[in-house]
Structure 1
Amino acid sequence: MSSSSDSDGVNGPVEKPRAEVTVEAEGRLAVGVRLPLPASARPRLLLQLRPKKGKPEGTGHYVELEPAGPDQWRAVLEAAPALEEGHWDAYVVGAPGEERTPLLPGLRDLRALVSGGGDGRATPVAVRIPYATKDGRLAVRAWWRAMHAEAGRIDLADDSMTVTARLFGALLGEGATATVHRRGQGSVVRQIALRAEGGQEFSFTVDYKELVAEGGGPEAGEAPVFWDVYVRPDTAAPRIRVGRLLDDIAERKAVFVYPAALLDGVSARPYYTVDNDLSVEVAPRRTG
């Protein structure tokens, strides 16, 4: 983007453009950008998928920015095609081949997301939540899941947690169970009976004492162990990750912090991962 100059003719800092984002019906994103360009310009909004560590950056998703008033531009990101699951950083590109400029976050109207997912939500489940990154830039967190188990209320007891959830993209059938898998130890699995709650709603209770039984917990002085929560809709179905995606919170891990239950030598607590999936941490209790 072009640079600006101060009154002495010395180049001053360029103010990065700021975007306001509104989540509209059916998941459309309306993006408004303040950008001092002539009306004849053809700027574009670029969403660039953040590559995984050690992987190259792929092709971004471009949307034309249309004039919407003096120094105002607007783009609408339609619900289809769905974005690949991951973090998409937002930029403005002024012309083909021009260096991209990061967008700063302005007002974000997420009211359409607050009510969560209803029984009529289409599948696959496609979710896009605009958010501010830790370094103060605009990004969009996207999920795309052919089948999904949406966690609802989590009730905590002295030595257990009870999860209420809703299933999308699959039907509960014979032999439906919840399964909890110890991360990094694929052979360690606990199966838990489901309770049908009507429609696609179900619940299950994770007994922390069962997780740590038969060597499932950490030894004294060891690092915590982590258990990932799934549901298997019937005996022949693949397992489906349980998570919380259908609201306005892009990064739930630091927002929802649950208290730990204290057991014999360990503590156990539910938490959401960086991908908003539900897990359980079992950690050695500190002494002294």
Structure 2
Amino acid sequence: MNASTQLPATGAGPAGTEAVAPVLTGAPAPSAAEHGAGDAAPAAQPLRADCIADSAGGLTFDITAPQGTRPVWSAALVLRPRGDGDSAAHEELRLPLGPNGSGRLRAVLPSTVALPEGRWNVYADLGDGRDPQRLLPGDNDLRPLVDRRPLAGIGRLGVRIPYTTRSGSLALRSWLRGPHAEAADIVVDAGGTTVTGRLYGAVLGPGARAEARLRGGAAEADEVAPVVTVPLTGDGCEFTFTLPYVPLAERWEGGDARWDLWLRAAEGAEPVRIGRLLDDVPEKKAVFVHPALPVGCSAGQLRIGPYYTLDNDLTIRVTDDGPDSTGC
């Protein structure tokens, strides 16, 4: 389906101040050629957008448009998923773009709009017959996202963080999870990793536990990947657990072994990936760095420690600590 989602106008208020329901409107705006603009149309001037976050997870985009720009009713801020394939080419979200009262153009992405998890390029369609153009990042005010603490009973957690791509354009990283296990404090010592966090969309019950699952550990489709489980301590939505390193070292078979961390709120509950989403850092991997400590064993020495993946999920890495290490 070649369709776009168009949101009704939200006015010039702050992001996330009113509930908005998506409405399907069909294909994206026509190109310049379809409007008959021809080759005489001048080149589009680069546009820059400032982003303002609110504590509910909404974003407001203020764009400085070229002098003399007269936005029409069809003007929109366009979000398109990054990546290859048909979905990236045919799915987009269109947000109404109109004057903000101070000579700029404004679009609002409310927290009530469910933006699918992934990375999104940001464009401006001024309704002048040109193809939507990529936006450059301006000033970001993301202070409300720092140490954001939604209500624990929230059914589905939405997180959006603007960032700059390698090419210098504006993009968004979006997460949409429910339930969600948010990692907070992480303490690393030679015996293991201790994680303290908060569970959203569920509460702890009998049989609650953390699970470390070996990534790629199932060689065949009908096999189950190795799992190391540890009990949780905590009450309600707050949790703490310590994952010892010895069981991971004993299962090491060479190379880099990655153990992804999950949480089960109760016996029989579906597992929830543990990650860190509630701040203003779009990619934690290079920012929140934890040590990989040496762990000795009869056949050599390993290094084991936690890290955040490119999706900001928490994982434990096990690797050898030298050419003489052959495993435990």
TM-score, with length taken from structure 1? 0.87
Aligned match of 1:251 in 275, 283, 293? 283
State the match for 1:269 in structure 2. Answer: 305
Aligned residues: 274
Aligned match of 2:233 in 195, 201, 209? 195
Residue 17, structure 1, aligned to residue 47, structure 2: yes
State the match for 2:321 in structure 1. Answer: 285
* 1:217 shift after superposition: 1.3
Distance in 1 (alpha carbons) for counterparts of 2:109 and 2:50: 13
State the match for 1:35 in structure 2. Answer: 65
Sequence identity percentage = 36
Aligned match of 2:100 in 39, 49, 68? 68
> What residue ranges of structure 1 are gaps of 5+ in the alignment?
3-10
Distance in 2 (alpha carbons) for counterparts of 1:120 and 1:176: 17
Distance in 2 (alpha carbons) for counterparts of 1:87 and 1:103: 15
State the match for 2:81 in structure 1. Answer: 49
Map 1:170-185; keep pairs closer than 5 Å.
170-185=202-217
Over 3 Å counting, the alpha-carbon distance change for 1:41 and 1:55 in structure 2 is: closer
What's the secondary structure of 1:103's corresponding residue? strand
Over 3 Å counting, the alpha-carbon distance change for 1:52 and 1:14 in structure 2 is: closer
Amino acid of the structure 1 residue aligned with 2:134: P
Distance in 1 (alpha carbons) for counterparts of 2:292 and 2:43: 48
State the match for 2:252 in structure 1. Answer: 217
**Per-residue CA distance 1:153-174 (angstroms, 9 max, x = gap):** 0011113110001111112111
Aligned match of 1:90 in 107, 122, 131? 122
Over 3 Å counting, the alpha-carbon distance change for 1:53 and 1:178 in structure 2 is: farther
Contact 2:188 2:305 in 1 (8 A): no
State the match for 1:7 in structure 2. Answer: none
Aligned match of 2:199 in 140, 163, 167? 167
Aligned match of 1:147 in 175, 179, 183? 179
Contact 1:49 1:58 in 2 (8 A): no
What's the secondary structure of 2:56's corresponding residue? helix
Distance in 1 (alpha carbons) for counterparts of 2:245 and 2:276: 21
> What residue ranges of structure 2 are gaps of 5+ in the alignment?
1-30, 33-40, 218-223
**Per-residue CA distance 1:20-67 (angstroms, 9 max, x = gap):** 000024222111001115453323210111235686523211112112
Amino acid of the structure 1 residue aligned with 2:315: S
* 1:218 shift after superposition: 3.6
**Per-residue CA distance 1:92-136 (angstroms, 9 max, x = gap):** 112276322111111110011112224456221111111112221
TM-score, with length taken from structure 2? 0.77
State the match for 1:6 in structure 2. Answer: none
* 1:12 shift after superposition: 10
Over 3 Å counting, the alpha-carbon distance change for 1:250 and 1:15 in structure 2 is: same
Distance in 1 (alpha carbons) for counterparts of 2:198 and 2:246: 26
Distance in 2 (alpha carbons) for counterparts of 1:91 and 1:172: 42
Contact 1:155 1:163 in 2 (8 A): yes
What's the secondary structure of 2:266's corresponding residue? coil
Amino acid of the structure 1 residue aligned with 2:117: E
**Per-residue CA distance 1:167-209 (angstroms, 9 max, x = gap):** 111121111111000000142110111111x331111111111
Contact 1:227 1:280 in 2 (8 A): yes
Contact 2:153 2:202 in 1 (8 A): no
Map 1:206-245; keep pairs closer than 5 Å.
206-213=243-250, 216-219=251-254, 223-245=255-277
**Per-residue CA distance 1:215-252 (angstroms, 9 max, x = gap):** x2142xxx301000001111110111000011111111
Superposition RMSD in Å:
2.4
Distance in 2 (alpha carbons) for counterparts of 1:122 and 1:173: 17
State the match for 2:37 in structure 1. Answer: none
Contact 2:152 2:200 in 1 (8 A): no
